[in-house]
Structure 1
């Protein structure tokens, strides 16, 4: 049963039609511990080699001494709209897939379209040595196939409003999982994500990779500087549809390897 669950673990960083199909058809899964854990990903399949030998891997620990203020960076420009959404149990995380017209983010004059968002508990990125309770990844993709991920970190505290709205749907996803549906889906219907594009005064930017196999190094990462809050109950609700092996689904931090982590700060820029 465990091997079946591992093989079902989908590539959660992309849209359903791209990498999850890769992970399944290649018959090689990955996990977060043991022989299929992060330190073994690069040896599970030839297509996963970047996970071991890549020099631009993610996540990272964003340290003050390695961060540079870039006065040329611009405020983060995102336009999100009401669109159809579906909650999906990717086995290795819970994701929300968006229909067409969900919105866009513009980075370095390049347009990326919002495809999905998913959660990691605890956080994958660390900020000044601190690992937080959770991390939200808003995954965008450009026409050339490259990605832009906007990440938000969460500490334990007050309830996160968007997840509060999704509680019933998440519980339904858990019920479907308990029925034996390993990759359950729950239709959410029309959803407004515009509150997620709230203005940010500070963010960090670096070039990195997907944080799951095949660990492709074609991602522009934006880590929001403001740490938001999420309740303990919400953490458990996010974990509840997942098998015990994937409830803690954070890849360890990777070496920076000389990369430049840039910072935007509204009061300075």
Structure 2
């Protein structure tokens, strides 16, 4: 009986991680939600593994306020190096995600390589910028060999269509259809996908140490919030919500206390003005992409 209870607890923990970490486990019974008795205010009490959600001091998301921002001239420009790779669109119950095969590429932060494993969307945005909550937020989840996470986030306002989501429209519709059939682990093969379009030049970003924004709310996650707010159409926002159950359509955790943390800012234009030079891109430790 003791072993059975332990296995249930481990499975429950693994399923919760699906909302940010890649896994082949089933997604039924995620066990938390965004309203009511299993909403964000209760996450820390739903499972012993979720305690950080209630007592952690480095929690995410946050509201990035001007008075809390520190311009750090030592920060390096964000350099991402992505490759063409296979991808699968997945309904992770708590969000819609795109999971990448091995060899998707890397981001280097503080001389450490983090490999792109998946990306997913929150509607509305989880992070606020100067008190403003946006229509959506994209999280590009990277993981180092030691298991640590680095997430690069983009905020979206309502406006022109987002090109990548425009390409994915048919597959998102198919994912909704699969989910409507009662398939709790609905997924749609995307095939080869070019993620290099995401390597757009980033002149400004915010950096801080936080946590996963879903249970178990594990901390010491390096967050990079891109300063440029992009746009997607209202229809695209609704399309991202469409495969999700009602309790997960608005899947944004409320902002958490900063607790004395400092949000650092990189701004290429400020640095160029002060020094007359642009910073060099850090040399990324390349690995040969795996051919599928």
TM-score by length of 2: 0.86
Quick check: 1:64 aligned with 2:66?
Answer: yes
| Counterpart among 21, 31, 34 of residue 14 in structure 1 | 21
TM-score by length of 1: 0.93
| Counterpart among 70, 78, 81 of residue 79 in structure 1 | 81
1:231 aligns with: 233
Paired residue total = 258
1:10 CA displacement: 6.1
CA contact under 8 A between 1:9 and 1:91: conserved in structure 2?
no
Q: Distance in 2 between matches of 1:9 and 1:147?
A: 16
Larger Rg: 2
1:4 aligns with: none
Quick check: 1:38 aligned with 2:35?
Answer: no
Unaligned runs of 5+ in 1: 1-6
CA contact under 8 A between 1:125 and 1:253: conserved in structure 2?
yes
User: 1:14-42: CA deviations, max 9, x gaps?
Assistant: 1115xx66x86xx6610000010000000
Q: Distance in 1 between matches of 2:176 and 2:242?
A: 6
Kindly report structure 1 stretches of 4+ aligned residues shifted beyond 2 Å. 7-11
**3-state SS of paired residue (1:164):** helix
User: 1:72-130: CA deviations, max 9, x gaps?
Assistant: 00110100110000000001100000001100000000000000000000000000000
Unaligned runs of 5+ in 2: 1-11, 272-292
CA contact under 8 A between 1:104 and 1:113: conserved in structure 2?
yes
**3-state SS of paired residue (1:241):** coil
CA contact under 8 A between 2:16 and 2:214: conserved in structure 1?
no
| Counterpart among 220, 223, 226 of residue 222 in structure 2 | 220
1:189 aligns with: 191
**Superposition RMSD on alpha carbons, in Å?**
1.4
Task: Describe the shift of the 1:28–1:199 C-alpha distance in structure 2 as closer, same or farther (beyond 3 A).
Answer: closer
1:218 CA displacement: 2.4
CA contact under 8 A between 2:86 and 2:192: conserved in structure 1?
yes
